[in-house]
Structure 1
Amino acid sequence: MSLVNTVQGPVDTAELGRTYMHEHIFVLTADVQLNHPGEWGDEDERIADAIAKLRALAAQGVKTIVDPTVIGLGRYIPRIQRIAEQVPELNIVVATGVYTYDSVPFFFLHRGPALNAVLGTEIPDPMVDMFVTDLTDGIAGTGVKAGMLKCAIDHEGLTPGVERVMRAVALAHHRTGAPITVHTHPRSRAGALVKKVMCEEEGVEPSRIVLGHSGDTTDCDHLAELADAGFVLGMDRFGLYQDTTFEARADTVVEMCRRGYADRMVLSQDAACYIDWIDPNVMPFLPQWHYLHLGQEVLPYLREKGVVDEQISSMLLDVPRRFFEAS
């Protein structure tokens, strides 16, 4: 029996069911929310809205979501606990890590490896112990253990800060066995840099890494190279169509399935109940960016284009289960 930690406690991987591997509940700018609470509004109303949206998702047959909200994205576990208690039919796996495209947060700037040159000795990175504690002891006294590690690399490339977080995540992975998801920028082929740092230099098996947002490109040859290297491809931004189209995202999955890669992909929407990065007045212009879009529109389209139920089950059930079982 293999177990994965969720907000409500450990769950057997056999019970994960249909799993969306990259969905947020809230994405928030913590300092703004603490100092300008009027933007957030009524806490109970926000929680009630999240409960309703997640219940609707569970009613579609989704059993598990992975919420990769970490430092830099406004993670606050007590709020997520309140929601999880009211939606017991849905497993919520939370993550630990740091989200940055450039520098490390100022908290880390003059700690750990940054002091090596000053002190003339090797200083362990405090990030590693923080991540390990979240995974093994629990997050901030809540008793909730993270089930995933998270880092990011975007079009800015392998900056010193991004590289430092990557290596800290890799070290925490080796100490705990926890799997990893990486926000990537496939148009700049960031996956190759993940492979170099995390796999070739830090020794993480590619099969333990989801390359998030792989569906942001339609270059199936490039995606096939990453899948052949062993990575899991996160086709996880359905509903976000500012820089692409519904058909482009969906047809990329269709083509990758045609090439035989259904067993290397996972599906999601990268949606949230509320994200303060976007003016609420803009959200009506993103009408398909919500938890139900995959079930209502994407999966029927994939089936129309020849993706069979066995392949859909592979992407939504088998790949997530195997990914967590390898822990």
Structure 2
Amino acid sequence: MKIQSVLGPIDGAELGRTLFHEHLFIMFPGAEYDSTVTFDREAEIAEAGQRLTRLREDHGVRTFVDPCPIELGRDADAMRRISELSGVNIICTTGFYFQPMGLPPYWANSTTEQIAELYITELERGIGETGVRAGALKCATGAGQISESERKCLNAACIAQRETGVRILTHTTSGSCGPDQQDIFLAAGVPETAIVIGHCCETGDNAYHRQIVDRGSYIGFDRIGWANYNSDEARADALALLIEQGFEDQILLGQDRYTAMRGRYGRPQSAQEVADMEEAKRQGAWPPPYTHLFTDFFPLMTARGVPEERLYRMLDVNTNRFFSGGAPAASQMA
């Protein structure tokens, strides 16, 4: 099965070591109208190219998946240029974010079929006039329950997945609604192995994780390093338990980090969050690098008895299998 990168289709063998949920640029809806903020797109592209080059040279990363929602500043042309600069494959997605942080009214009030038509167009023909084709579908839901408009977007993704065969990557909020997302996908006939339920490391609840992996889908531990969502120690404990239970073939790793935030964050931030961010900027450590997984999180896992080679297998093998359409070993899905 060919996988669509921003530079064109590639074979699964070309994916190599893959970070499956990261971002280049984020811009929340409305920031484009903020005349008090200056964006330096060329400088951002250059910085992103350097960051991805370092990932490739220092940590062997060959593919970078950026599931940026359509309305959060997705810049397909910039992705293509950054891939050319860095020598790293980039896979982008089509799909909307969750309410109230995204999902513009035009699309929230569209029909499921109209949304699906957009998704299929971006997957098969390309994004706008860029010629860049999306390589996967992005879905997102808010905390606690799935809204009517979010449900339409999930159902549209099901239509597009059945039409094109591409994979579905999701955003969940506050460790909730992952099994509910999976219910919708499976009921619509999406293969369980074509689904990764994202941001599951926001909760350490093993029962929540097991609801997903027991039904054969992949699970994303893909906000590693974000202390405001959960501690890395809690993530490491939860991940080690899933590995002990035999589900390491169904786990994908990522950090949900970005090179640049264009404008302000899309939700109110506490005074402490703002202060921490400003201090990190003064120290030259914001936005944080994409290397945290290797330099900080892997040592937490080895301290819990998980050898590095098993962690690298999640980056080298699991993501390849997921995008290529393969299934985890049957023993992992018992």
TM-score by length of 2: 0.86
The amino acid that maps onto 1:177 is G
Aligned residues: 311
CA contact (8 A) 2:4 2:10 kept: yes
Query: 1:91 — aligned with what?
Result: 89
205-214 or 271-280: bigger deviation: 271-280
* Cα shift at 1:269: 0.3
* Matching residue of 2:294: 295
> Residue in 1 aligned with 2:120?
132
CA 41–139 in structure 1, closer or farther in 2 if over 3 Å, else same: closer
- Matched to 2:291, the amino acid is L
Give the deviation of 1:273 after TM superposition: 0.3
Letter in 2 for 1:68: P
Q: Structure 1 unaligned segments of length 5 or more: list them.
A: 114-124
What amino acid is aligned across from residue 44 of structure 2 in structure 1? R
The question of whether the paired residues in 2 share the 8 Å contact of 1:303 and 1:309 is answered with yes
Structure 1 residue 182, shift from structure 2 partner: 1.1
Deviates more, 1:43-52 or 1:63-72: 43-52
Match of 1:36 in 2: 34
Return the alpha-carbon distance in structure 1 between the equivalents of residues 206 and 261 of structure 2.
30
Question: Is 1:258 matched with 2:244?
Answer: yes
Shift of 1:65: 1.1
Deviations 1:68-106 (A, max 9, x none): 012231112122222222112x11000001112358421
Aligned to 2:162: 174
Structure 1 residues 56-205: aligned runs within 5 Å? 56-59=54-57, 60-88=59-87, 90-101=88-99, 104-112=103-111, 125-185=113-173, 187-188=175-176, 190-200=177-187, 202-205=188-191
Partner of 1:116: none
Alpha-carbon distance in structure 1 between the residues aligned to 2:6 and 2:38: 23
Query: What is the CA-CA distance between 1:250 and the residue it aligns to?
Result: 1.7
- State the 4+ residue runs in structure 1 displaced beyond 6 angstroms: none
Q: What amino acid maps onto 2:298 in structure 1?
A: L
Q: Structure 2: 5+ residue runs without aligned partners?
A: 327-334
Structure 1 CA distance for aligned equivalents of residues 64 and 249 of structure 2: 19
Matched, 1:242 2:236: no
Match of 2:52 in 1: 54
Residues 285 and 109 of structure 1, relative CA distance in 2, 3 Å threshold: same
Superposed CA offset, 1:171-222 (max 9, x none): 000000010011113633x12211222212x111221111100111111232
Cα distance in 2 for partners of 1:290, 1:5 equals: 26
CA RMSD of aligned residues (A): 2.2
Could you say if the C-alpha distance between residues 40 and 63 of structure 1 is closer, same or farther in structure 2, counting changes exceeding 3 Å? farther
Distance across 2 between alignment mates of 1:84 and 1:91: 6
> Percent identity of the aligned residues?
32
User: Residue 310 of structure 1: CA displacement?
Assistant: 4.2
Change (3 A) 1:111 1:86: same
Structure 1 residue 30, shift from structure 2 partner: 4.9
Q: Shift of residue 274 of structure 1? A: 1.2
Instruction: Rate the CA distance shift 1:53–1:40 in 2: closer, same or farther, 3 A.
Output: farther
Q: 1:234 to 1:32 in 2, by over 3 A?
A: same
- Amino acid aligned to 2:196: V
Output the amino acid matched with 2:83. A
Name the structure 2 match of 1:219.
205
CA contact (8 A) 1:215 1:234 kept: yes
Deviation per residue, 1:132-171 (Å, 9 max, x gap):
1111111112221111101111214111111110000110
Match of 2:330 in 1: none
Q: Contact 2:69 / 2:95 at 8 angstroms: preserved in 1?
A: yes
When residues 306 and 85 of structure 1 are mapped into structure 2, their CA distance, relative to the original with a 3 A threshold, is: same
